[in-house]
Structure 1
Amino acid sequence: MKKMIELTNDRYRLGYHVSAPAGWINDPNGFCYYKGYYHIFYQHHPYSADWGPMHWGHARSKDLIHWESLPIAIAPDTKADEDGCFSGSAIVKDDVLYLIYTGHHYYGDGDPDHFWQTQDLAYSTDGINFTKYENNPIIALPPTDNTHHFRDPKVWQKDDFYYMILGSQGQDGHGRVITYRSKDLKDWQYLGAITKAKALATEGYMWECPDFFELAGKDVLLLSPQGIEADGQKYLNLFQTGYFVGKYDYQKNIFSHGSFTELDHGHDFYATQTMLAPDGRRLVFGWMDMWESDFPEKADGWAGALTLPRELILKDDKLYMRPIKELSQLRTAKLASWDKNLTQKTLLCEGEKQAELELTLDSADFSLTLNDPKTSAQIKLSFDQKAQTFILENGDKRYATIAPKSKLKLQLFIDTSSLEIFINDGEAVFTERFYFEKTPEVWLDTRAKCDMQLYRLGKAITFDKH
């Protein structure tokens, strides 16, 4: 029996973010609520810290904060998914939890780009043990006007039908999303493409991990396009994650929408998945990393993590992404609280692996740095008041421009080797990984009035010992 990789060092391990007990993870999958628990699955290779044949790792929580790691939900062990159980989604039907995912298949010639993909189904009545549908695949072939890129199904219910949206590439080499319809989750009718990339440079050659939902009376297509070219201060990551806002005509199968907008401005954010919470909030997870990153934690037997769960809010056709309110449960101590006019560089935090900072500042130039006390490594966030632009430096630079306001509100979550920065209640967000030798110091340099609250945060992940 193949032996799963084990953790050898916890120097970079996160305290309150979902990650695997050991091994590699990437995309969040199957985000849902079932029988009193929130469930999140993720792309997982349990046998090494590198990407490999994909399994679905699994964790659950009653409160979105304290997560219990569960045994692997599905593995590539049937003819329908022999080379990987790729990304997908979950839906509850008749009190049964269904996973809809992509089966990956290689032709066996050693070429990683020579593959085909199918769509498959698994189900559970307890949310832990899953059975694969005996007649998989539920969709065996891509449509004739498609290439072999045909993956990441997201399923939802509308009236009497279930709908599936898939990431796709048309025969013209442009990214697109296609839809199917079903009465029973097993027999699917192809409807066609609802929208596609207008140009390769601006919208990409492949659209991955599509998510489709209604928010504030509009329809939102959230996706991860590949191949968008950098444009000034935009699209600077290898691949992007962003959204279109518009209206979907279910009768004509056409999605009319505005332009593509990036969702997160940091270096480490990709492959989102959302769910509609029982209380009506639209919640989202992302992969808190990026393809072709260095992943220093691989040396310790693991790689990758998920972001904090976040709430999506639509205002004036712009998605705001804010930390969920439940995160206040992580606070174990209030370490500092003050309100004063700053005239010099000020130390805000030191010696805390897990911390939350809330800052309210007058709108003026400032810089906020996380420093490694042992080395010269740092992450620096600067604000250019004249341009109303934030500049994030973590190796190279990332940017976010905001609407002018008299006050700036920042909320920072630090977790050993991750930093998430929420600006003005989610108007702009930066998600970052970092690898310091010592616990970071946080410094603020500004000549302005500042209100600061600092909290110590507890750990919230329990790992499966099976």
Structure 2
Amino acid sequence: MEGDVSIIMTDNEKKLLEHAYEEVEKKRNTTKMDPYRQVFHLMPPTGLLNDPNGWIKWKGTYHLFFQWYPYDTSHGPKYWGHYSSNDLVTWKEEPIALAPSEWYEKNGCYSGSAVDNNGVLTLIYTGNVKDEEDRRDSYQCVATSTDGTHFTKLGPVIDSLPDGYTAHFRDPKVWKKGELWYMVLGAQTVEEKGRVVLYSSANLTEWDFKGAIAGAGIGGIVDFGYMWECPDLFSLDSKDVLIISPQGLEQEGIHYQNKFQAGYFIGEADLDNVIFHHGDFAELDHGFEFYAPQTTMDDEGRRILTAWMGVPEQDEETQPTVTNGWLHCLTIPRELRIHEGRLWQTPVKELQKLRHNQESIKETLSANELLVFDDLAGPAMEFMLTGLEEIKGIFEWTFRNEARLIFNGGTHLLTLERRNTRTHLTEQRHVRLDSLKYLHVFMDASSLEIFINGGEAVMSARYFPSEKDTSLTMKTNEKVTVSLDKWVLS
């Protein structure tokens, strides 16, 4: 990685960037040797990646920033890493966009968003500050760029908290409607209730607090987590959608099984009166790793989402990539639409450019017969499986002997199963379906993203199979004829 640190910046910022580049280059070769490095998912060059940030298409190029601690696989003071792409398939590693160099961000340049302000790429993010006793202050900050690569920090634009809120006040998502800019922030009340608050501005630097637009005590929600992170409010298909990552939800049957969740409300937002009338909360992903999603709208009018394929405090330190100095990745970009009152997610069409060596197979499985596909031609594959509508019993699909999909036609329950990296015991996640029509699977060296019934539901997971095991097997307890299309992805 090469970084131009000759632009105007403070001495401390220059020093931090130079040190980060040196450390990354020292470790890059070790990281590259890891067999679990992904083929087509975005990962950190070294160190730890988490939330996607600043997701935007600006002047014809997609820019995707991410929370990054380049030195280690722990959650240290966060930088903003940066990738760019012209097609959502081939990505370029850009110089570090933000380093925690100034007093208002010394413990991390936390999550935020990006907007185009009259041709200027503008980042709005949270500066995190902690004192010797671990007490926190939060500042909402701005940085600008005219070339999309090098950023000038303007400092805090919101430097105080509204009454009744703690310093857990972060992750600004900004957009423009009419003549005004709007910002939603994830927040926590002093009673430790999660909320989303709304600000407005005429110029991106002077902001007016409008109030809480969603959260505990609003819109019929009594108690729903102690902190709401990474809010994203946007219009889609004549509705308004609020995406949040609530912390502190208790498991309810097959729901909310991860340490922290990510999901959405659909309704109507009245920004003038700070009211969001909405339906029930729904999870965005029913797998093991999915958090802090962020969306953008591109030139085609598509609403595209990506997320961190990880969860805070959930078995991070036991993932085997830690040994080789890196941790976590992002999901593939997903296009959103509203269908039958729910958000549906589908892989963006550009990913078809990754496809090579298509094979189409039609097989009839007899009861309790094991169908083995042992020539996958590599760890990165795409599968489309159809012919599942007639399943009344149990159907199983195993990936490299490390993860398994199980559909029970009697209970309509689809289960994703894998081995836990900490306990080494089997663990499961579930989604209930009216019917199972087809499965669309993206398999990378250490991840699975499973799109169900054309986007009705998604299950994402990291998994860590043996490098030598490329097997794929299917089994059912009844006679079933299935059709499988598969591609090598590169």
TM-score (norm: length of structure 1): 0.93
Runs (5+) with no aligned partner, structure 1: 373-377, 459-466
What does residue 404 of structure 2 align with? 380
Letter in 1 for 2:482: C
1:413 partnered with 2:442? yes
* Deviation by residue 1:336-359 (Cα, 9 ceiling, x = unmatched): 212232222212353521111110
Secondary structure of 2:323's counterpart equals: helix
* Deviation by residue 1:239-264 (Cα, 9 ceiling, x = unmatched): 00000111011221111111111010
1:123 partnered with 2:148? no
1:454 partnered with 2:486? yes
* Deviation by residue 1:356-380 (Cα, 9 ceiling, x = unmatched): 11100232131111134xxxxx211
Q: 2:386 aligns with which of 360, 376, 398?
A: 360
Q: 1:190 aligns with which of 201, 209, 232?
A: 209
Q: 2:304 aligns with which of 267, 276, 283?
A: 283
Q: 1:140 aligns with which of 154, 159, 162?
A: 159
What does residue 474 of structure 2 align with? 444
1:244 partnered with 2:265? yes
Secondary structure of 1:119's counterpart equals: strand
For the 8 Å contact 1:203–1:260, the answer to whether it is kept is no
Matches within 5 A, 1:238-387: 238-292=259-313, 293=315, 294-334=318-358, 336-343=359-366, 344-348=369-373, 350-363=376-389, 364=391, 365-372=394-401, 378-387=402-411
1:403 partnered with 2:434? yes
By how many angstroms is 1:201 displaced? 9.2
Letter in 2 for 1:400: V
The structure with the largest helix share of the pair is: 2
By how many angstroms is 1:107 displaced? 1.1
Change (3 A) 1:265 1:152: same
**CA–CA separation in structure 1 for the residues paired with 2:104 and 2:114:** 18
Secondary structure of 1:408's counterpart equals: coil
* Deviation by residue 1:17-48 (Cα, 9 ceiling, x = unmatched): 11121111000000001122101000001111
For the 8 Å contact 1:351–1:441, the answer to whether it is kept is no
Runs of 4+ aligned residues of structure 1 deviating over 3 Å after TM superposition are 198-202, 348-351
* Deviation by residue 1:167-225 (Cα, 9 ceiling, x = unmatched): 00112211000010001111000000001135999621100000010011110000100
What does residue 194 of structure 2 align with? 175
Letter in 2 for 1:140: D
Letter in 2 for 1:342: L
Matches within 5 A, 1:45-60: 45-60=69-84
Runs (5+) with no aligned partner, structure 2: 1-17, 419-425
* Deviation by residue 1:393-446 (Cα, 9 ceiling, x = unmatched): 123111111233xx6211111110011111101111110101122243221113
Secondary structure of 1:71's counterpart equals: coil
Alignment identity in percent?
Answer: 41
The structure with the largest strand share of the pair is: 1
> How big is the alpha-carbon RMSD for the aligned residues of Structure 1 and Structure 2?
1.5
The farther-off stretch of 152-161 and 337-346 is: 337-346
**CA–CA separation in structure 2 for the residues paired with 1:103 and 1:200:** 29
Letter in 2 for 1:397: Q
**CA–CA separation in structure 2 for the residues paired with 1:63 and 1:366:** 37
For the 8 Å contact 2:47–2:73, the answer to whether it is kept is yes
Change (3 A) 1:72 1:221: same
Secondary structure of 1:329's counterpart equals: helix
For the 8 Å contact 1:50–1:298, the answer to whether it is kept is no
For the 8 Å contact 1:353–1:415, the answer to whether it is kept is yes
**CA–CA separation in structure 1 for the residues paired with 2:128 and 2:75:** 14
* Deviation by residue 1:81-133 (Cα, 9 ceiling, x = unmatched): 11110000000011000000000000122x3xx21111000010111111101
**CA–CA separation in structure 1 for the residues paired with 2:204 and 2:272:** 20
Secondary structure of 1:80's counterpart equals: helix
How many residue pairs match? The answer is 445
Letter in 1 for 2:103: K
Letter in 2 for 1:283: I
Secondary structure of 1:366's counterpart equals: strand
For the 8 Å contact 1:201–1:229, the answer to whether it is kept is no
**CA–CA separation in structure 1 for the residues paired with 2:353 and 2:434:** 31
The farther-off stretch of 336-345 and 386-395 is: 336-345
Letter in 2 for 1:347: V
**CA–CA separation in structure 2 for the residues paired with 1:108 and 1:245:** 42
Secondary structure of 2:407's counterpart equals: strand
What does residue 13 of structure 2 align with? none
1:95 partnered with 2:119? yes
Letter in 1 for 2:396: S
**CA–CA separation in structure 2 for the residues paired with 1:260 and 1:59:** 31
